[in-house]
Amino acid sequence: MERYSRQILFSPIGTEGQERIRGKHVLIIGAGALGTGNAEVFVRAGIGKLTIVDRDYVEWSNLQRQQLYNEQDAKSRLPKAIAAKRRLEELNSTVDIKAHILDAMPEELLNLAMGVDLIIDATDNFETRMIMNDVSQKRSIPWIYGACVGSYGISFTILPGVTPCLQCLLDEVPLGGLTCDTAGIISPAVSQVVAYQTTEALKILVEDYESLSQRVVSFDLWKNEHVSLDVRKLKREECPSCGIHRTYPSLRYENQTKTAVLCGRDSVQIRPASSHSVDLLDIARILENQGKQVERNPYLIRFEDDSLKVVLFYDGRALVHGTKEIKEAKSVYHRYFG
């Protein structure tokens, strides 16, 4: 226990709390700036099991704020989940770390949430957050919302049956409308959100629920602004996600988007109607026979189509870089992959 001695000396955790942390399983959705920051804190704190889910790969623009990655990861376009797992295992080899390269949709999240004690929001899109919200309510698992853009950040801890859920807050609390594509991002804002998320997370992991804030916290570091909202009265009995008659709207198939414009880039993700593995080597050979120059690693292939760059993952999902037009991205996808 020498490794965690300074954490144990903190009386709200102590020896008993450290043992509880060691017995817990955290699921992190997203391995970008917030995801890597959260993951490192949990691994250094001695979490028992950590599961990381991310759909993307490391790019040069990530290195400014995504703390687990290096230049070689960007050069080889390594999937973020794999790169994060490798780095985290170097930090603490005793933690059981699982990495999943996939898009976090309802079926996947419902399965991954089995046996999980806490879910951390580190994604970059609101649709995934609403899916997480419904999975949290259906599985009765706490989750911690977090987002940042520019110098602004926001966080809120959601306890099923106790606090309002994200669906409850939609009409009452300003959750931010800008994206990193329109406003950029500075790393101190990321660090501040990570600090709020991981502090609340440690309270949950040691089961000190009375210390949770139950407040929406937001800030703008550049403008020297800080807001803390008491939202306990916003919990709604008629809420479709956490109310009396629940329908979990974000888990329904008709509400699932098969395409998404990615935050911060001229890129569109295309997700096939049904997830299935593809033979990347075979597809790469076909493309090369068509005169395409194909880059590949064990997890993805990459090639160019005029001004567009196309990345295909082994689950049949593709990223089309160089456009925000979904129709154009779909056309490229179907041209090469049916």
- The pLDDT, as a whole number, for residue 278 is 87
Strands 259-261, 267-270: pairing kind: antiparallel
Please answer whether residues 100 and 112 qualify as being in contact, where contact means their C-beta atoms are separated by less than 8 angstroms. yes
Could you read off the pLDDT of 66-104 as tens digits, one per residue?
A: 999 999 999 999 999 999 999 999 999 999 999 999 988
Cross-strand bridge partners of residue 296 = 301
Could you read off the pLDDT of 45-76 as tens digits, one per residue?
A: 999 999 999 988 999 989 999 999 999 999 99
- Report helix, strand or coil for 200: helix
Residue 57 DSSP one-character state: B
Please answer whether residues 77 and 58 qualify as being in contact, where contact means their C-beta atoms are separated by less than 8 angstroms. yes
Q: pLDDT at residue 275 above 90?
A: no
Angle value at C-alpha 93, between 144 and 51, nearest 5 degrees:
30
Mean pLDDT confidence for 228-238: 94
Cross-strand bridge partners of residue 225 = 220
Q: Is 263 a catalytic residue?
A: no
Strands 49-54, 25-29: pairing kind: parallel
Q: pLDDT at residue 267 above 60?
A: yes
The model carries a pTM of 0.85
Q: Where are the beta strands (DSSP E) in 199-294?
A: 215-220, 225-230, 259-261, 267-270
Q: Considering 165, 168, 180, 239, which one is annotated as catalytic?
A: 180
- The pLDDT, as a whole number, for residue 177 is 56
Q: What's the longest Cα–Cα distance across the chain? A: 65
Which one-letter amino acid corresponds to residue 338?
Answer: G
* 259 vs 307: CA distance, rounded Å: 20
Please answer whether residues 250 and 134 qualify as being in contact, where contact means their C-beta atoms are separated by less than 8 angstroms. yes
Could you read off the pLDDT of 286-325 as tens digits, one per residue?
A: 999 889 999 999 999 999 998 999 999 988 899 999 999 8
- The pLDDT, as a whole number, for residue 337 is 82
Q: pLDDT at residue 178 above 70?
A: no
- The pLDDT, as a whole number, for residue 55 is 87
Cross-strand bridge partners of residue 119 = 27, 143
Strands 318-321, 267-270: pairing kind: antiparallel
> Dihedrals φ, ψ of 299, to 5°?
-115, -20
- For the range 64-69, what are the long-range contacts, defined as Cβ-Cβ under 8 Å and sequence gap of 24 or more? 64/187, 65/33, 65/185, 65/186, 65/187, 65/190, 66/31, 66/32, 66/33, 66/36, 67/33, 67/36, 67/37, 67/40, 68/31, 68/36, 68/39, 68/40, 69/36
- The pLDDT, as a whole number, for residue 57 is 92
Q: pLDDT at residue 182 above 90?
A: no
274 Cβ partners below 8 Å, 6+ apart?
A: none
pLDDT band at 179 (very low <50, low <70, confident <90, very high): low
Supply the mean pLDDT for the chain.
Answer: 92
* 326 vs 289: CA distance, rounded Å: 27
For the sheet containing 143-149, what is the strand order? 96-101, 49-54, 25-29, 118-121, 143-149, 152-158, 215-220, 225-230
Map out the domains of the chain with their CATH numbers: 2-254 (3.40.50.720), 258-337 (3.30.310)
Cross-strand bridge partners of residue 49 = 25, 96
